[in-house]
Structure 1
């Protein structure tokens, strides 16, 4: 079995530049699947907050319920 030498990043980018649109989209889908967990965790960390308490959320929910009830 022939072993190919590893590609460096500029070589990889050059190869990708030679791909057609369909191949690039397939590669994009593969990379999105491969990096989903990392991107999702980064998103969760960016929206994490200690500013809201359960009581704050409950008050807001009740206020919206009251407003919806009075609109009927």
Structure 2
């Protein structure tokens, strides 16, 4: 696995964890819809993959699927 693909997977995992945390906070009433929406936008912006990371991740997924 390339460094770029590894970085992409780490970003995607961190992003998913933070989104799950924010959804839980919304469901339990700890935050408002407005705060949730802003937080999701911030998370998406912070953990957006670069073009190189996206390409490396796509190649990794293709190779992983072909090895099955």
Q: TM-score, normalised by structure 1?
A: 0.37
The structure with the larger Rg is 1
More helix by share: 2
TM-score by length of 2: 0.39
Work out which structure has the larger RCO, using CA pairs closer than 8 Å and 6 or more positions apart in sequence.
Answer: 2
